[in-house]
Amino acid sequence: MTGASVRVDLSSRRGGFTLEAAFTVPGGTTVVFGASGGGKTTLLRAVAGLDAARGRVSVADEVWLDSGAGVDLPTHRRAVGYVFQEANLLPHLDVEGNLRYGARRAAGPGPEWDAVVDGVGLAPYLSRGVEGLSGGERQRVALGRALLRRPQVLLLDEPLSALDEPTRRDLIPLVAGLADAFGLPVLYVTHALDEAMRVGDRMLWLEGGTIRAEGPLGDVVTDPEFVRGRGDDAGVVVEGRVVAHEPDDHLSRVDSPWGGLWVRLDDPRPVGAAVRLRILARDVSLALGPEAASTLLNQWPARVVGLDDGAPGETLVRLVASPMAPDGPVLLARVTTRSVRLLGLGEGSEVHARVKAVAVVA
């Protein structure tokens, strides 16, 4: 984790909607996740001082809001970088002019010009007018402008949601690396679970103006209450490391807490590189033993640690790797209740988890 700690304990009322949120961001990227209308944008605007709120907000040793002490810094005095769904660039300035606009409002020490321009991939666009930029290019400029303000915290409000899918996939690695690259905490709003699972270190699940769960992303996305409403999106994330490539097969071997996994990497990382894997519960099948002749390249022993009701006729099986990582990360399998009954599965059952290599998303 990198960056200053952000502490939030606030309430905000807008019309008939009330937001109550108390949490700490220890650094890295915290995804603020939830359905539309749950209070995600309201939370970011309150942290930035754009909407009235009561309570307390502090970043590092600086207090931005303390209602009890009469402190409520205006937005321009809060060292915050904010990127919206729309880039909101200044149309009368070229790309460099937009970036310089942010740099002139630098809040203190922070990223230098060259580091931002190179890190966000802006060098080819500096002399271009912003009206001719694509949606993805405009968001790169917006990110660069926010970083050049040298914020203590970066707030990103669904910055990829208006982009087409290929552009969104292209920008996700950039966004996911911002906290580490520039050493500042990031609050990232999204309602897209696949995006959340690829970007976040931590997750804050917000529904109806209330925090339902908050903590390491892997813990929140496997919480039974969270999983129950995800349907086809239910799954897990796990950190791994590339150990080999098989270029003829377009596959990579990744070392994970569950052992070696075959993965198809669209953008192969070098051997030794860290990689985050997402495995959907619908893509995991279970058997009572290994199967030698199978198209399922990934198979490993696992132990059932819980069974939760899913949709009618479905069961969400919670597993840990056995014996590789009996205390390691949880794997989810979404199977029919009939299959659970026929295999006699219960807590403590020893099984083999199986997943196709093409189903592992990196």
For residues 179 and 315, state if they share a domain: no
| CATH code of the domain in which 195 resides | 3.40.50.300
pLDDT in tens, 129-175: 999 999 999 999 999 999 999 999 999 999 999 899 999 988 999 99
> Across 136-263, where does the E strand assignment appear?
153-157, 186-190, 202-207, 210-216, 235-246, 251-256, 259-263
Residue 350 has pLDDT above 90, yes or no: yes
Per-residue pLDDT band for 327 (boundaries 50, 70, 90) equals: confident
CA distances to 33, 109, 113, 213 from 204, in Å: 6, 28, 32, 6
Read off the pLDDT of residues 194-218 as tens digits, 9 standing for 90 and up.
999 999 999 999 999 999 999 999 9
Claim to verify: residue 197 and residue 87 sit in the same structural domain: yes
Considering 178, 193, 220, which residue would you say is the last residue of a domain? 220
From 220, 243, 261, give the residue that closes a domain: 220
For residues 332 and 343, give the distance between their C-alpha atoms in angstroms, rounded to a whole number.
17
Are 118 and 10 in the same domain?
A: yes
At 1 the pLDDT is 46
Q: Can you give the pLDDT at residue 107?
A: 74
In a domain, 13, yes or no: yes
Residues 6+ positions from 172 with CB-CB distance below 8 Å: 160, 195, 198, 199
Instruction: Give residue 16's pLDDT.
Output: 85
**pLDDT over 80 (residue 245):** yes
- For residues 188 and 313, membership in a common domain is answered with no
Asked whether the whole model's pTM tops 0.85, one would answer: yes
CB 204 within 8 A of CB 32: yes
Residues 258 and 197 in one domain: no
Question: Between residues 340 and 266, which one has the greater pLDDT?
Answer: 340
Q: Give the CATH number of the domain where residue 261 resides.
A: 2.40.50.100
N- to C-terminal Cα separation, the chain = 21
d(CA 362, CA 351): 25
The answer to whether residue 225 sits within a structural domain is no
Residue 1 placed within a domain: no
Which ranges in 13-164 belong to alpha helices (H)? 40-48, 95-103, 113-120, 135-148
User: Looking at the domain assignment, is residue 265 inside a domain?
Assistant: yes
251 with 284, same domain? yes
Residue 299 phi, psi (nearest 5): -140, 135
Asked if 136 and 258 sit in the same domain, the reply is no
- Based on the fold, state whether residues 189 and 264 are members of the same structural domain: no
Both tokens of 168, joined, read: 């969104």
- pLDDT, tens digit, 9 for 90 and up, residues 126-136: 999 999 999 99
Residue 226 located in a structural domain? no
Residue 229 lies in a domain: no
Greatest Cα-to-Cα distance within the chain, rounded to the nearest angstrom: 70
Q: What integer best gives the mean pLDDT of the chain?
A: 92
CA distance 149 to 108: 8
Beta-bridge partners for 80:
153
- Determine the average pLDDT of the residues in 96-103: 95
* Residue 60 placed within a domain: yes
Same domain, 201 and 279: no
Statement to judge: residues 22 and 156 lie in one domain:
yes
Per-residue pLDDT band at 2 (split at 50, 70, 90): low
Task: Name the one residue in this structure whose structure tokens are 């976040």.
Answer: 200
Number of domains composing the chain: 2
pLDDT digits (tens, 9 = 90+) for 33-85: 999 899 999 999 999 999 999 999 999 889 999 999 999 999 999 999 999 98
Residues 76 and 190 in one domain: yes
Boundary (domain end) residue, out of 220, 249, 279: 220
User: 159 with 250, same domain?
Assistant: no
- What residue numbers bound the domain in which 353 lies? 235-359
**Helix extents (H) in 83-131:** 95-103, 113-120
Identify whether the C-beta of residue 139 lies closer than 8 Å to the C-beta of residue 171: yes
What 3-state class would DSSP assign to 144?
A: helix
Q: Please say if the pLDDT value at position 328 is more than 60.
A: yes
